[in-house]
Amino acid sequence: MFAMRVLGIETSCDETGVAIFDSELGLLGHALHSQVAMHAEYGGVVPELASRDHVRKLLPLLQELNFSAETIDGVAYTAGPGLIGALLVGASIGRALAWAWGVPAVGVHHMEGHLLAPMLEVHRPEYPFVALLVSGGHTQLVRVDEVGQYLLLGESLDDAAGEAFDKTAKLLGLGYPGGPALARLAEHGDPGRFRFPRPMTNRPGLDFSFSGLKTFAINTLREHQDESGIHADIARAFQDAVIDTLIIKCRRALRETGLRDLVVAGGVSANCALRSRLGVVADEAGGKIWYPRPEFCTDNGAMIAYAGCQRLLAGERQSLAIEVMARWPLARNQGNDLKEDRSLR
Ligand code: KG4
Ligand code: ZN
C-alpha cells in the first residue's frame, strides 16, 4: 500500500478545524478555531454567523499548519451532516485547493470522523467494535466492521444527548455551550434528591429518547423553584439519567452483537462522569473502552483528515461538483453517497 498525506477540513458547525494526516507518519499537525465566544452572546449557534466566520478563519488557519502544497496527496472535507452554509465553506475551499494542487478530494461524513477519531492514536482499537456516538446533533450506536462498514444499531428518536445537555443547561441558566457547564454543576448536586426516568430502557431495542428528560427538568424546577441547591440537584439527576441510559444501551449493544470493544466518541464523550462509569461495561464484556484524546472528542480537523485518508487510500474520489448534505444517514455511507469520479486523480 502506498503512503498518502491528506489535508482535512472541518466546518460543519461552530468550529473551524484543519489537520494533516500521513498514512505512514500519523498526525503531522492540526489547528482549531472555536466560534463559541461569538455564538455565546446569542445563547446558541447562529448559522449565518457560523458560515461567515468559517470564511474568515479557514485560510489563515491553514497557514498555521505551515505545510508546502507539493507534499499534499489529497484533500478531505466534511460534506455533512451539518449546517449547510458552514459545510459549503469547507467543501468549496477544500475542493478548490484539491483542483488547484491537482490532487483528489473526498467528502467525509462528520460522524464517520467522530467514530474513527480513536484511530489517530498509536494504541487503538481493532475492528470490529461497537461505537457509541454522542454529540450535539446525534446519539447513535453503530457496529463498525471496518472503515466504511457501518451498521446502525440504534439512535435517538428525538433530541441527541448533547442537545439534551444543552437545552437543560439553558433552563438552569447556564451559558452556551451548556454541556460542560451542566457537568460541572452536577458535581455539586445531591445524587439522591431526584430520580429522573431512564427513557426507553424497559423495552427491547437500542434506540434512545432524551427530550422527555428536559421536560422532567422543567417540571422539577417549577415545583421546587425556591429551594436551595435546586439547580445543582437537577443537573445531577439529569446527568445520572443520561449516563445510566447510555450505559444500559451500550451493555445491550455489546451483548446483542457479541462484540467486546466499545468506542465512545463525539462531544459528550468528554464527560468525566460518563467515562468513569462506562468502564464497567467493557469489563463485563471482557473488552476495552476507547476514547479519542480529549481535544478530538469535540469537532476537529484531525478526524476528518484521518477518515478522508482511509477513503482516498481505498480509491474514492469526488467529482468536481461541490456537494454537501445537511442530513446524511451514516449507515447509507457504505462507500460514499456523494458523486464519485474515478477518472480524477
Ligand atoms: O461532537 P461535538 O463537538 O459537535 C457535534 O457534532 O455536535 O459535540 C458538541 C456537544 C454539545 O452538545 C456539548 O454540550 C456536548 O457535546 N459536550 C458535553 C461535554 N462536552 C461537550 N456534554 C456533556 N459533558 C461534557 N463534558
Ligand atoms: Zn461533531
In this predicted model, what pLDDT tens digit does every residue of 13-37 receive, in sequence order?
Answer: 999 999 999 999 999 999 999 999 9
Tell whether 26 and 161 lie within a shared domain.
Answer: no
Residue 212 pLDDT greater than 60, yes or no: yes
Give the mean pLDDT of 174-178. 89
Question: What angle do helix axes 161-171 and 230-257 make, rounded to 10 degrees?
Answer: 170
Q: Which amino acid is it at 259?
A: L
> Residue 80: CB within 6 Å of ligand 1?
no
Residue 43 pLDDT greater than 50, yes or no: yes
The CA 171 to ligand 1 mean position distance, Å, reads: 17
Binned at pLDDT 50, 70 and 90, residue 224 comes out as very high
Binned at pLDDT 50, 70 and 90, residue 113 comes out as very high
The per-residue pLDDT for 176 is 86
In this predicted model, what pLDDT tens digit does every residue of 133-173 receive, in sequence order?
Answer: 999 999 999 999 999 999 999 999 999 999 999 999 999 99
Q: Give the range among 100-109, 188-197, 230-239, 277-286 with minimum mean pLDDT.
A: 277-286
Domain limits for position 222: 127-291
The per-residue pLDDT for 330 is 87
Atom in ligand 1 nearest the alpha carbon of residue 270:
26
Tell whether 134 and 253 lie within a shared domain.
Answer: yes
Nearest-ligand number for the alpha carbon of 162: 1
Tell whether 235 and 134 lie within a shared domain.
Answer: yes
- Give me the CATH number covering residue 277: 3.30.420.40
The per-residue pLDDT for 1 is 61
Tell whether 278 and 310 lie within a shared domain.
Answer: no
The per-residue pLDDT for 331 is 72
In this predicted model, what pLDDT tens digit does every residue of 310-345 receive, in sequence order?
Answer: 999 999 998 999 999 999 998 754 445 555 543 433
Q: Is residue 122 part of a domain?
A: no
Mean pLDDT for all residues in the chain: 94
Binned at pLDDT 50, 70 and 90, residue 92 comes out as very high
Nearest-ligand number for the alpha carbon of 170: 1
Q: Is residue 146 part of a domain?
A: yes
Give the mean pLDDT of 276-283. 93
Tell whether 35 and 148 lie within a shared domain.
Answer: no
Atom in ligand 1 nearest the alpha carbon of residue 160:
12
Tell whether 165 and 143 lie within a shared domain.
Answer: yes
Tell whether 279 and 330 lie within a shared domain.
Answer: no
Long-range CB pairs of 331-339 (<8 Å, 24+ gap) are 331/142, 331/150, 331/151, 331/152, 333/109, 333/112, 333/148, 333/150, 334/148, 334/149, 334/150, 335/148, 336/106, 336/107, 336/311, 338/79, 338/107
Tell whether 282 and 303 lie within a shared domain.
Answer: no
Atom in ligand 1 nearest the alpha carbon of residue 82:
6
Task: Supply the residue whose CA is at minimum distance from atom 13 of ligand 1.
Answer: 179
